[in-house]
Amino acid sequence: MGSRLGTGRLGRLALGAFAVLAAAAPARAQEKVAQKALPPLVFTGIPDQDESRLTERFGKVAASLEAKLGVPVRYIPVKSYPAAVTAFTNGQVQLAWFGGFTGVQARKAVPGAQAIAQGAEEAAFKTYLVANAATGLKPETHFPKDVAGQTFTFGARASTSGRLMPEYFIRQAFPAKAPEQVFARVGFSGDHSRTIQLVQSGAFAVGAVDYLVWDLDTKAGKLDRHAVSVIWESPAFPDYQWTVRGDVEQTYGAGFTDRLRAAVTGITDPAILEPFGRSTFIPVTNAAYEPLVEVGRSTGFLD
């Protein structure tokens, strides 16, 4: 009888365990379905460098965020700075690595959008003016007015460090004059690496570049320091940042913005940070970019 009793108890325990598993199975199935139903978090970044470098670094960011957030994350490239703003505005992407000014434009167009993180270097960002050696221009601590009459290239038209801020400094140095009145010819390279190459080749005498791209290209061995050099370093200003749309929590749940901020600022892998030229990402808010709003209005680039 003891044997039969033991067997009965084991049977009841087995049936109880089966019932628990059976009850849990639908919950797990529903959880999996809910996870599968979440659309990918799609992001982009302004094309401030060559495309292969951008694809590599943003691919690593996508993998890191996906692992931390538990939702699919996808990077899509864009061809221009305005295209990045447009993709964010129309909801094609929910997150973007913007320059300072493109971030201002995007948040103005999408109410509720928030700057959530920036590189530690962003709070005191700089533009370099670089010159071809044939010009004979030498480094100066004040804006080098000897650039007047030279050919000059900005980066992209909506670039903060390659257009907005350098034009602001040029207008300060030459009051009541637009760049076209200061230089023999003005161009727009499209990105910072291209600006450096155009000046190095002599296609333009002087150019305005992002100081971190200059450092990255120097480390990559892309510069001939006998052909091109830095002649001026600008005062500091805020620049790049990660900006997210305000409606992401409707899709991914309450608190997602904070989770996303924590995921970005929690990136410590040098393989991700070094291609950005950043030591770390730190939290930031829209208020940090008010100086660029003022500069944008004073130069006529922002209504």
pLDDT at 49: 76
Q: Cα(141)–Cα(158) distance, rounded to whole angstroms? A: 26
Tokens of 233: 């370093």
Averaged pLDDT, 80-97: 97
Is the pLDDT at 44 greater than 80, yes or no?
yes
Q: How far is 194 from 51, CA to CA, in rounded Å?
A: 12
Q: What is the pLDDT of residue 51?
A: 79
On the question of pLDDT at 60 being above 70, the answer is yes
Distance CA 202, CA 131 (A): 9
C-alpha closest to that of 167 among 234, 212, 103, 252: 234
Residue 12: band (very low, low, confident or very high) from pLDDT cuts 50, 70, 90: low
Query: Tens of pLDDT along 154-163?
Result: 999 999 999 9
Distance of CA 72 to CAs 16, 90, 115, 193, 267, Å? Answer: 37, 20, 21, 31, 17
pTM, full prediction: 0.83
Residue among 257, 258, 243, 259 nearest 292 (CA): 243
Average pLDDT over every residue of 120-128: 95
- Please tell me the predicted confidence (pLDDT) of residue 9: 53
Residues whose CB is less than 8 angstroms from the CB of residue 240 and which lie 6 or more positions away in sequence, other chains included: 97, 98, 99, 100, 103, 118, 119, 122, 125, 160
User: What is the model's pLDDT at position 192?
Assistant: 94
User: What is the per-residue pLDDT for 213?
Assistant: 93
Q: How confident is the model at residue 14 (pLDDT cuts 50, 70, 90)?
A: very low
With a cut of 90, say whether residue 287 has pLDDT above it: yes
pLDDT for 18 equals 46
What average pLDDT does the structure give for the chain?
Answer: 90
Cα 38 from Cα 190, distance rounded (Å):
35
**pLDDT greater than 70 at residue 224:** yes
Question: Given this model, what pLDDT does residue 36 score?
Answer: 54
- Of the ranges 54-58, 99-103, 194-198, 250-254, which one carries the lowest mean pLDDT score? 54-58
